Amino acid sequence: MEVVEKKNKNKKYKPILEGIPDWPVYQLSKNRKEFIEEVAQKSFNRVKEVRPTTKQLMDELEATVYREQQRMKRNRWRVDPADEPKFWSQIKSELVALTNKSAEEIQTKADEILHRIVSRYAAEIAGNFKPNSYRLTREIIKFWFSRLLNGARVKKFGAFFRNRYTLRDKIQIVGKAKQIRNLARVGTIVMVPTHFSNLDSILIGWVIHSLGLPAFIYGAGLNLFNIKIFAYFMNSLGAYKVDRRKKNLPYLETLKLYSTLAIQKGAHSLFFPGGTRSRAGMLEKQLKLGLLSSTIEAQRNAYLESKPEEEPRKIFIVPVTLNYHFVLEAPELIDDYLSVKGQDRYLPEQDKYGSWQMLKFLFKFFTKGSNISVSIGKGLDVMGNYVDDDGNSLDAQGRIINTRDYFVTEGRIAVDKQREDEYTRMLSQRIVSEYHRINRVFASHLVAFVAFELWQQKHPKLDLFGLLRLPEEDQVLSYEEFRAACKRVRKQIYHLKDEGKVYHATHLKGKIDLVIRHGLENVGIFHLKRPLLLSKQGNIITQDFNTLYYYHNRLAGYDLEKFV
């Protein structure tokens, strides 16, 4: 990974498809109305399969109306359509009016109501990629981010208008960049990144463009559209909307089928399989299986619907880890996590950042020296097998295998829901394993992990919540003790890297005091209360134990505790 990093860091890639009209996402947008109708019809059919009797369908519709009306009362967002209350009130009235109707009338009306609901959901979910808006948005992002970088690095007002530094100096792309370009030529890419910040969507969009890949469709949380600047960018870039408040069957099936059909039609896709941002700051351990299963269903359908003489388009899963020194939302995210963990209560996803706060954050980020990196993992097929650069699936011994065989029953491609559910679980486990393998350790991760573990060791009788309430006078570590522990843990990280179990940034090498200084300068760099810093007496202290715990968690799962 480190060798690849040196090659990729500042490399400029040519587009693999020159013209936007050749992009699969453009083809989807050109036929947007027909695509939405197809999604709605297939969603209608799927719900009818799952709820085949009139009573089951009626129960599902009533449950859907109840949940939607409760959502509007308890957790309404600015981005929600103004006509929502009226729509769901009308649906409820129509369901009530069916009480004394005949079985045939109830069935007909229930089908009609279901179709209206899934059609509304499909239109709400659908992205709207526009080439002109895409070009403009891309240039705006490149222009302003580049100018901010130059103004910060050169330290002169005139530098704001120069172009000496680029985003490639700020954002390092490491890993299998060449392979993902090759795979995009021969199949359909589904990129599955880790998810820590609202910045992730824009960051990944820039990475995709930087690698010379056509625009991807991607699922973005509907809550992000509350932030006007994000809404503009994501609408222009063709994001489809994912509303995690909606848990009813018609919505979930519509969302899944939108993803499945888009992938089947060759649209490169991106979604965050962890579902939401990591509240605890950990790499994802469990993934949401709904959207992930759409990749397996799309691959099966490609085999099922292809002609005998055709070679179906393969789908490739590409894990990606986003590596930050800081996460803007960390204090709020860890508070949510601790509230749920401590009190076992649900907290709806909220965003405390409007457009102005997000602009201030972006300005701070691009005018500081704190870099980020994006680690691209090896391509996988939908079963979780590695693939070579030509897209051939490989078994554990490196032999080429045919993924078509995974969908065969008695010599024919067949739909087997139970079997595909197991495939989805296998793929999920493999992606989680890859996240940990391609994770790139920063100095900020190292110092946060070591400091929190040392405080835990000093107070073994305290549980997590007792430790987080530690008196200020006990929130001190001697630098020499801290330094020795950092050295031991760093040595183990080197061993893990040699074993192919993790990677680390090049700045983790060199004199340990310089590594520690780099970590302390960057960990939580934009928070009002710094999670870790050096006191005037030369000791290690914290101003925010909760946020320190968040950054510590990035190295959870590697058994590094025993080396502290």
Q: What is the DSSP string of 529-552?
A: S-SSEE-TTS-EE-S-HHHHHHHH
Of the candidate CATH numbers 3.30.720, 3.40.50, 3.40.1130, 3.30.450, the domain formed by 2-25+128-438 belongs to 3.40.1130
Angle at alpha carbon of residue 441, lines to 541 and 364, rounded to 5°: 65
Question: Given the structure tokens 């209360």, which residue do they identify?
Answer: 529
Local structure of 409: helix, strand or coil: strand
Q: Among 480, 448, 465, 453, which Cα is nearest to 559's?
A: 453
To 5 degrees, how large is the angle CA 312–CA 317–CA 319? 170
Helix (H, G, I), strand (E, B) or coil at 376: strand
User: Higher pLDDT residue, 420 or 340?
Assistant: 420
Beta-carbon contacts of 213 under 8 Å, excluding residues fewer than 6 positions away, are 15, 16, 180, 181, 184, 189, 268
Strands (DSSP E) found in 197-347: 217-221, 239-242, 269-270, 314-323
pLDDT, tens digit, 9 for 90 and up, residues 396-446: 999 999 999 999 999 899 999 999 999 999 999 999 999 999 999 999 999
pLDDT at position 311: 82
Q: Flag the least confident range among 39-53, 288-302, 303-317, 536-550.
A: 303-317
Q: Give the residue ranges of DSSP H helices in 367-463.
A: 417-438, 443-458
Tens of pLDDT, residues 155-175: 444 443 444 445 566 678 999
pLDDT greater than 90 at residue 363 = no
Q: Identify the top-confidence range among 43-47, 195-199, 347-351.
A: 43-47
- Cβ-based neighbours of 494, under 8 Å, separated by 6 or more: 504
Mean pLDDT of 179-195: 96
Q: Answer positive or negative: Cα dihedral of 402, 406, 407, 410.
A: positive
Mean pLDDT of 244-269: 93
The pTM is what? 0.86
Per-residue confidence band for 328, with pLDDT thresholds at 50, 70 and 90: confident
**What is the rounded distance in angstroms from the CA atom of residue 142 to the CA atom of residue 140?**
6
Reading the block at residue 411, the tokens are 């010599």
pLDDT digits (tens, 9 = 90+) for 455-503: 999 999 999 999 999 998 899 999 999 999 999 999 999 999 999 999 9
The pLDDT of residue 218 is 83
Contacts of 6 (CB under 8 A, 6+ apart): none
- In the chain, where does the domain assigned CATH 3.40.1130 lie? 2-25+128-438
Predicted confidence (pLDDT) at residue 382 exceeds the cutoff of 80? yes
